[in-house]
Amino acid sequence: MPSAYTRKEPQGKNTRGLHLSFKHHSCHSFMDTLLFSSIILLRMTQFTLVSAAVIPDSAITNCPRKCGNVEISHPFGIGEGCFFEGFEIICNQSIPYLSKSNLQLLEILPGEVRVNSTNFIAKTCFSEDEHNGQAEIQLPEESLYSMSITKNILVGIGCKMSALASSPNMHRTSCASFCPTDERIINGSCNDIDECNEPFESSPCVPDARCWNEVPGFKCECPTGSSGDGRKEGNGCKKKLVPYLQAAIAKTQAQVGYAHSVTPFLSGTILCIGLMLMFSILIYWARKKRELMNLRVEHFKKNGGILLKQQLSSLQGCAAYPTIYSIQELKVATNNYSTNNILGSGGNGTVYKGILKDGSLVAIKKSQVVDQSHIQQFINEIVILTQINHRNVVKLLGCCLEAEVQFMNLYQMGHCTKRFMR
């Protein structure tokens, strides 16, 4: 492809005129372009700026200050009496031009103006017999502007060409561009190189890619299912995975990554919830157990338990003291007060058959109604019955005072009584 080089002009004084020339160094025909920056920077003289400063503001109050999108500031102006001599602006269909020239005004800067003109572009399609071209930029002698040597750029585009810009006071600048080989130049054509019609061996695209000509240059397109730039000097064409397989892999990777990030958090959360639940249950059980124990102690005191202990402790020479049983022991002995174990019932309560842990067969009386005023009498009866020891009389083993309203008395059955119960 053709290459282009640009070069700024050397430092020096400004100039009013500039001559552009270029020379072709090949026998083949192609198009070369030489331009001295389509946007030119012109400088205004110091005398002009000082003189323009004396224009009173009252003289330009009613003057247009804008043409199109360009702000017009003095010493420039539009219309009679609105500009300093030599700085007239012609506004033609909202496009500003410098007076007495075809230079389009782009911007007014302090001490400088930017203009545009097609006169600064030289463009030629060379033949085999003609290899030189030239263009000239010349400001009028009476112009108050000079061309900036330091802020304009010379550009040359083409193959095997050189360009020179010079001014009457011997300011010069040059540039050159070259093509790698003569084969890159199409004889008799001003078009871009047809890279895609080159022999297969020299094609810039890999065998799998399709070559497309563009202006300028070319494009290598990989076939469907492949990726890459398709160029031999690039990364060529590489086969893609099946789209749905790629999507599945991407989805799996996302899920795995999500699982890796979520699993520790989820496991920690479940563990914390489990520990909190376990501790809550333990605390609940401990509290209920403590409440139950407190309730049993309260019932024991209410049903004369303390009084019974005091009277039993005062007895001397007794064979045995009555045993105070828990509610749980009586439930186990009677199979939770099963109706199959009922021996009889009356107004004062129900009598159950029971078997204690040691295998003793006993009768257990469960009172229905307890009169709190008879607590003292009941305790005295228990103490008296504890001291009776006769083979034909049932013997009191103990009692339960932990129930809310019931008193439970245990009687050991004699031989005849056991036979009757069977």
Position 115, amino acid: V
The three-class DSSP label of residue 66 is strand
Annotated ligand binding at 366? The verdict is yes
What does the alpha-carbon distance between residue 221 and residue 209 come to, in Å, rounded to a whole number? 5
CA distance 133 to 119: 14
Contacts of 21 (CB under 8 A, 6+ apart): 132, 133, 134, 135, 163, 164, 166
Pairing assessment for the beta strands 31-35 and 39-44 based on DSSP bridges: unpaired
- Exposed (0-12), middle (13-18) or buried (19+): which is 352, by Cβ within 10 Å? buried
Q: Where are the beta strands (DSSP E) in 279-325?
A: 323-324
Gap between the terminal Cα atoms of the chain: 123
- State how far the Cα of 167 lies from the Cα of 169, in Å rounded to an integer: 5
Question: What sign does the CA torsion over 133, 155, 140, 70 have?
Answer: positive
Please report, to the nearest 10 degrees, the dihedral formed by the alpha carbons of residues 407, 412, 415, 420 taken in order. Answer: 20
For residue 77, give the DSSP letter.
B
CA dihedral sign of residues 371, 373, 374, 375? positive
Cα–Cα distance, 98 to 105 (Å, whole number): 6
Residues placed in the known binding site for ATP: 366
Residues placed in the known binding site: 366
